[in-house]
Each structure stands twice: as C-alpha cells, then as structure tokens.
Structure 1
Amino acid sequence: MAEPAVIAHRGYAGVAPENTIAAVETAANHDAAMLEIDVQPAACGTPVVIHDERLEGTSARDGRPLTDSSGYVWETSLEDLRTARVLGTDEPVPTLAGLLEAIPETIGVNVELKNPGTTDLRVAESLPDAERDERRAVWTPFVERVIEDCEAFDGELLFSSFCEGALAAVREVAPRYAAATLVWDDLEAGLEIARRYDCEAIHPPRNAIAGTPLATTEYAGFSDATPEVDILEEAHAEGRTVNVWTAENWHQFEALAAAGVDGIVADYPGLGTDSSDSS
C-alpha cells in the first residue's frame, strides 16, 4: 500500500507560527509533500494568508491571540496586516503572492478559500439550486484575485473550501485547477458537493474514516457514533483523492494510513516516520 502524502497543516502549525513564511520554511525542511494554507482578503482585496476571520482569533493549541492586532481581516489595511505579528513571533501576516514566492515548486500547495470578506458564510452546506448562483457571485471577485496571484506558481495547486460558493467560483474562474470539498459534519453533503463540481478530492475530518479507532471519537462537529457513510470507499469508487484532516500525533497518522487514505493533513513533521519506527 502506498504511503499517504503528508500535508503540512498551515505549515506544521504544531511547531511553527501558522500560515507564515517561517512555516513554509519548516514544511520545506521536513519534506512535506504539500502545504495547506488559508486565504482571505485584506481591505483592499489583496489575498492574505491567515486562518481566523479576526486578527485576535485564538490559536487552537493554547488559547493565545492569533496576532497582536484586532479586527476583521477584510476590514484591515494591507499595511496594518503587514505589521501584525503572528503568535508572539516576528512573523507578519503574509500576502498570498509573497508566501507563494517562498514555496519551493517541489511542494504542492492546498489553498483553502476561507472567507471572501463577509460574516455571511454558508459553511458545509449543499445549497439548493436557487441559491447557488448567488453564493458563487459572493465568492467570485475574491477567487479571481487568488487565482491571479497563484498563476506565477509552477508547482501543484489544489483549491479547497468548506463553502460550496467558493468551489462554484473556482470551477467558473479557473476550471483547469484541481478542487476539493472540505467536509464538516455532513458526509452526504460533502459527497454531493464533490459530485456536483466533479471535485478531484474530498477532505473529511479524521473521525469520518470508518473502521478506524478515530471513527468513534468526537471531533470537528461529529459525535462518537460510527459514521453512517463510508466516505473513503465511496470517494475512491468515484476516483476521488481522500485527504484527511488533522493528525496531531503518530497514533492518528498510523490509523489513517492503515485505512488507505491518500493524504493526511498533519500539525507536526515526522508523524509518518515516527509511526513506522514504532513497530
């Protein structure tokens, strides 16, 4: 069985200031196959790399403020974003263009379309016909800016989102690029969206993989009940890549690898190596 690709979550957020140039360097130095990053617009519309919608959003790891600034990302000037410091380090919030310049083209990039600049998001929903055009229109201007910044990067690119409107915009603006739907708490909705836009990949949470010890643990909107849908089997039967988020230790990585997933989003480098060394 082929080893799953290791995808550095925000640039190995467990050991580096997430979504920064320093995180890119960490991922490159530890042989990540792909780097996962999050993008939103600054007030001027320039795509910047940051996860939370607010600058003071807290890290999932220890509760520290994400940056030393505050306010919505999309209401903050590019100049102020460049002076914001991430997680108590000297690293600023980078532009997407600047971050891509720092990434070796041997490393793929998963660009997660996090927010187009609004609090009115439709997250992890399979939208009814009447609402799809409207939600695509909300995302299209930002997606156009993201694609423009990505065109200079010659490595592999994959665009993902929890929002159907974002995927609809990607398919309209740049159908040549691969796309992936991110799944939250509804496996059927995730598969439906992947089929609707013929997504090359689907990204479920780690406890959505049936037959693993993780499948009976609470995580990312799912209870500890056994998944009702075998999303790995169904996605593979349809020819889609399955990249799972997020492994935080080698036990989780080993369980997901044994299940046959194609990629594992990881917070720490070396999880795959550590798991094989443990046997």
Structure 2
Amino acid sequence: MTRPAVIAHRGYAGVAPENTIAAVERAVARDETAMLEIDVRPAADGTPVVIHDERLEGTREGRPLTDARGLVRETPLADIRKAHVLGTAETIPTLADLLAAVPETVGVNVELKSPGRSDLQVGESLPPADGERRREAWQPFVERVVADCEDFGGDLLFSSFCEGAIAAVREVADEAAAPLVRDDLEAGLEIARRYDCEAIHPPRNAIVGSDPTETAPAGQSGEPSVDVLAAAHDEGRAVNVWTVTNWLQFDALAAAGVDGIVADYPGLGDRSRSQ
C-alpha cells in the first residue's frame, strides 16, 4: 500500500494549540509530516494572520479560542498578535512569522479563508461574470499572501472553499491550487477543471467505499453521488482528504488510494506503514 502524505491540520490541532508557531515547530519535528495545513485571513490593515475563525472569541472543546474579542478583519494587527490561543501562552502569528518557522523540507497548504469581507460564496461553481467579480474581490488579499510566501523555499499549495480565491491565485501566483469541497462534489470538480488545479480537497466521507459507517455528505444519502477520487485521478489531480481523527479512518482512506490525508493527530498512519 502506498502511504498517503500526512498533512498536519493546523499543526496537528488535536495535540497542540492550532495555527500557532509552537504547533508548527512540533509538527515539523516529526518525520511523517509532509505538509502543514494552516488558515489565513486579513487583520484590519490587510496583513495575513493565521487563524481559522472569523471572530477572535469562540470555543474549542470548552476552551476559549482566544482571550480577545471582535472580528479579525476589524481588529488591529497589534491586538491580534497579543491574543493568546486556547488558554496557552501561544499567540496568533502573522503568515510571514509562521513560515519563518517552517523548514524547506516540509510543504505548506495555505487555506484562504476570507479576503476581509463577509459576502463570501462558498462551495459554488460560479457563472463567468460572477467568477470574475469574486476574483477581483479576493485578489488584493491573495497578493498580500503570495508576497508573504515569497521567501519560503518549500512547496506551497493554496486552497479555498471559494472559487474567487482559486481564480485570484491563478492570476497572481505560479503555485499549486486546490478547491476545497464540502457538499457539492460536482461543483468542486468543475472548479478544479476550470482552473486546471493540481489537486482537489474533498471531505473524507466523499471517498467511495472508504468507510461505510461514515455519514454521507450533506444533501446526499448512501454512497457519494460521484466518485471524486476516480474522476480526479483520471484527470491527473491529487486528492487530499480532510479531516482524519483516528487510525481507522486513516487506514480506510489509505486503502482507497487517496494521495494526502489531513490529520488532527500525529501517528495515525503508523498502522498503515507496517502493512
């Protein structure tokens, strides 16, 4: 069995404070980690910062997401950088600071969460006119992100649930891109084709036959409506699935033939590696 690449979700969010430099340092120290997955959105001045949520308040498993409040896009950068993550001493880093902690031997999947506005169109394959407007909305932020990535010597992969973000990446960067898919597998494949993306990122329950106990994607029943793994591979695209939390899921997806697995915990592939 070919072992899929292990992609550390927010720096293995199951064992470290997500999207922080401490999480990154721990993740890259593990030989199994082929790539990190991180989330970026702009601070009030447009600086890309590494945080998943739209707001600074919130919870993860009962812990406060940060000790600050407010929309990230409306919060000054200085205040964001002082916000402590999940009750730890770790703070929210800028994208540039986080990348400085990553060796060139480990790739980085930069998920583009928001361009700094609330009117996102997520998961849709857009008509040409709408797609162009969305690209224009995303492009200034994507340009900032790409500029912050210029000094990083490792592999980069840009992903997003928003077609406008993928379109902007294709406009301003010569880097790999992948649409993130949640429910509409056909729309995700269409976006991948439209922008000749190197990869596609479906949820783990979208992989036909990977685990019959998994819940089907929203709006579907039983097996997924399209074999996204077969379709993507036929078109020469990698398939990286999200997000795996145990070795049973990892084994099933590895057996199905996915190329990469976004994992919350390290070590989930140890069983597959021994077979």
Instruction: Give your verdict on TM over 0.5.
Output: yes
Matches within 5 A, 1:130-145: 130-145=129-144
CA distance in 2, matches of 1:198, 1:121: 22
- Of 249, 254, 258, which residue of structure 2 is paired with 1:257? 254
Match of 2:22 in 1: 22
Q: Structure 2 CA distance, aligned partners of 1:220 and 1:260?
A: 19
Cα distance in 1 for partners of 2:96, 2:129 equals 35
Counterparts of 1:108-123 in structure 2, within 5 Å, are: 108-123=107-122
Tell me, yes or no, if the aligned pair for 1:136 and 1:169 is still in contact at 8 Å: yes
Unaligned runs of 5+ in 1: none
SS in 2 for 1:111: strand
Equivalent in the alignment of 1:34:
35
Q: Could you tell me how far apart the structure 2 residues matched to 1:217 and 1:2 are?
A: 23
1:205 aligned residue: 203
Residue 58 and residue 151 in structure 1: after superposition, are their counterparts in 2 closer, same or farther (change >3 A)?
same
Partner Cα distance (1:50, 1:221) in 2:
26
Which stretch shows the higher mean deviation, 217-226 or 8-17? 217-226
Counterpart amino acid of residue 245 in structure 2: E
Structure 2 letter corresponding to 1:262: D
Shift of 1:24: 0.4
Unaligned stretches of 5+ residues in structure 2 = none
Aligned mates of 1:224, 1:256 — CA distance in 2? 20
- Deviations 1:159-212, CA, capped at 9 Å, x for gaps: 0000000000000111x1000010010000000000000000000000000012
Q: How many residues align?
A: 274
Please say if residues 217 and 223 of structure 1, whose CA atoms lie closer than 8 Å, have aligned partners that are also in contact.
no
**TM-score computed with the length of structure 2 as normaliser:** 0.96
Runs of 4+ in 1 over 6 A off after TM superposition: none
Task: State the superposition RMSD in angstroms.
Answer: 1.4
Deviations 1:200-250 (A, max 9, x none): 000000000001215x52266465521010000000000000000011000
Give the Cα–Cα distance (whole angstroms) in 1 for the partners of residues 88 and 145 of structure 2.
Answer: 26
Aligned residue in 2 for 1:194: 192
Q: Is the 8 A contact 1:217 1:225 kept in 2?
A: no
Match of 1:149 in 2: 148
Structure 1 vs Structure 2: percent identity of aligned residues? 71
Letter of the aligned partner of 2:101 in structure 1? A
Say if 2:203 and 2:241, in contact at 8 Å, map to a contact too. Answer: yes
2:106 paired with 1:107? yes
Given that residues 30 and 270 in structure 1 are in contact (C-alpha distance below 8 angstroms), is that contact kept between their aligned partners in structure 2? no
How far apart, CA to CA, are the structure 2 residues paired with 1:36 and 1:244?
12
> For the Cα contact (< 8 Å) 1:180–1:199, is it kept in 2?
yes
**Distance change in 2, residues 1:128/1:57 (3 Å):** farther
2-structure distance, mates of 1:144, 1:63: 36
2:56 matched residue in structure 1: 55
* 1:17 alignment partner, SS class: coil
Contact 1:205 1:219 in 2 (8 A): no
Deviation at 1:118, TM superposition (A): 1.2
1:79-112 deviations in Å (ceiling 9; x for gaps): 1001100000011100000000000110000000
SS of match in other structure, 1:271: coil
In the superposition, the TM-score normalised over structure 1's length comes to: 0.95
Maintained 8 Å contact 1:207/1:222: no
Matched, 1:172 2:171: yes
Q: Distance in 2 between matches of 1:245 and 1:135?
A: 25
